[in-house]
Amino acid sequence: MIRARGLVQTFRSRQGRTTSEVRAVDGVDLDVEDGEVVGFLGPNGAGKTTTLRILTTLLRPTAGTATVAGHDVATQAEQVRRSIGYVSQAGGAFSGARAGDEVVDHGMLYGLPRRVVEERGRALFSQLDLEGLWTRTPRTMSGGQKRRLDIVMGIVHEPRLVFLDEPTTGLDPQARANLWEHIRGLRDRRGATVLLTTHYLDEADALSDRIVIIDHGRVVASDTPAALKEQVAGDLVDLEVEDPAQRAEAAARLERLVAQAGAGAGAGPGATPGPSSSGGVVEQDGRHVRARVRRAGRAVPGLLRELDAAGVALASIEVVRPTLDDVFLALTGRSLRDTGGSSPDAAARGSTTSSTTSSTTSSSSTTPGSTTVPQPTPTPSAPTASTSTPTTGALR
């Protein structure tokens, strides 16, 4: 459904007298199959929106090629646009007409009869909790209501391919859950293909058949959420020794286990990432030693026997399944949570970290709150330019 090769997008931006070039997209290859829901993740400024704008024909790429629904984005923009729905991050600009009229006009632009689009529009209003707002003007709606109206506009013509740029930002937890159901329905009931960007990892995890991670304009990973977690991050094993004098012994044994089983991406942001090297992957802190270990469930029983035989007494052990945030951190060096990736649900629970004091547990939770990985220092958000233009191709 989408095939992109070597996409590049550069922008020239001017700040005072200085002109600089930003390489927003730097050689992106992307394949999305029919009926797939793909989560497109990356830190702020990674190039997600720019890629979506190329694929939706709003930007002509500086270099590279892409076909969307079988049409070339550069030479067949009209056909691409007829095949897709796009809910942009900025949301739609509404004319001042009543919401229902906006929807009907939009559907009719796609060639749908008024009766059909009104029927679909009203059904979507009901499904997305906009009941009673058909005759309201969008400017009198709340932010969340406007966002849901954007989504109605993006899908009312039942496109085969839907691009959703941070569709749930600004929605309350109930509206998010409702939209998730809808996105699943797009695929399950209508066989639609969905490419969505989000900063909410629970959302990406719950909805995506596949996750594509982009950083500095390049795709750095593409796989199912489960495979990424297993291969990239590994499980976090945290041992707490009874006697601090035995910490070094526990660390040495854990390091050996990492060498045998394979590491994930390090115990935390301070540890050295590396798929199999054990150097630097065991972190020591107070009475704790911790490291990432591939398939820890299988490897840890042997470690416990060894520690027992060596007379190392443990106060607690915790095995924490990796989250997508761990994957993200391993690949990009940044936590999505630093960029606002904690979902409203998680924020409401007040849970972004937890301590490692429980006895042996094995959590399969994938919510951001389940990880015990220490948080890195927040990084500043992406630079923005005061004025800018694409270096080739014009905004159409």
Ligand X SMILES: Nc1ncnc2c1ncn2[C@@H]1O[C@H](COP(=O)(O)OP(=O)(O)OP(=O)(O)O)[C@@H](O)[C@H]1O
Residue choice 8, 26, 47, 167 for contact with ligand X (CB under 6 A)? 47
Rank residues 47 and 234 by Cβ distance to ligand X and give the closer one.
Answer: 47
Min dist. Cβ of residue 341 to ligand X (A): 9
Binding of residue 50 to ligand X (CB under 6 A): yes
By the 8 A CB rule, do 282 and 251 touch?
yes
Binding of residue 237 to ligand X (CB under 6 A): no
Binding of residue 334 to ligand X (CB under 6 A): no
By the 8 A CB rule, do 303 and 253 touch?
yes
Question: CA dist 154 to 16, 133, 157, 238, 362, Å?
Answer: 38, 17, 8, 46, 41
Residue choice 49, 56, 366, 371 for contact with ligand X (CB under 6 A)? 49
By the 8 A CB rule, do 37 and 209 touch?
yes
Binding of residue 382 to ligand X (CB under 6 A): yes
Min dist. Cβ of residue 48 to ligand X (A): 4
Rounded to a whole number, what is the distance in angstroms from the first to the last CA of the chain? Answer: 23
Binding of residue 124 to ligand X (CB under 6 A): no
Binding of residue 13 to ligand X (CB under 6 A): yes
Q: What CA–CA distance (Å, rounded) separates 372 from 352?
A: 9
Min dist. Cβ of residue 256 to ligand X (A): 40
Structure tokens at 73: 């984005």
Binding of residue 61 to ligand X (CB under 6 A): no
Structure tokens at 306: 């060894």
Sheet containing strand 314-320, edge to edge, reads 283-285, 288-293, 235-241, 314-320, 362-363
Residue choice 22, 254, 267, 299 for contact with ligand X (CB under 6 A)? 22
Rank residues 152 and 214 by Cβ distance to ligand X and give the closer one.
Answer: 214
Q: What CA–CA distance (Å, rounded) separates 132 from 154?
A: 20
Rank residues 234 and 368 by Cβ distance to ligand X and give the closer one.
Answer: 368
Binding of residue 388 to ligand X (CB under 6 A): yes
User: Residues in the chain, how many?
Assistant: 396
Helices (H) and strands (E) in the chain, counts: 12, 16
∠ CA 203-205-210 to the nearest 5 degrees? 120
Binding of residue 391 to ligand X (CB under 6 A): no
Binding of residue 384 to ligand X (CB under 6 A): yes
Neighbour count for residue 193 (Cβ, 10 Å): 24
Residue of minimal Cβ distance to ligand X: 388
Rank residues 219 and 319 by Cβ distance to ligand X and give the closer one.
Answer: 219
Helix (H) or strand (E) segment spanning residue 30: strand 18-32
Residue choice 26, 32, 48, 62 for contact with ligand X (CB under 6 A)? 48
Residue choice 11, 86, 94, 200 for contact with ligand X (CB under 6 A)? 11
Q: Which parts of this chain interact with ligand X (CB under 6 A)?
A: 11, 13, 22, 24, 42, 44-50, 382-385, 388
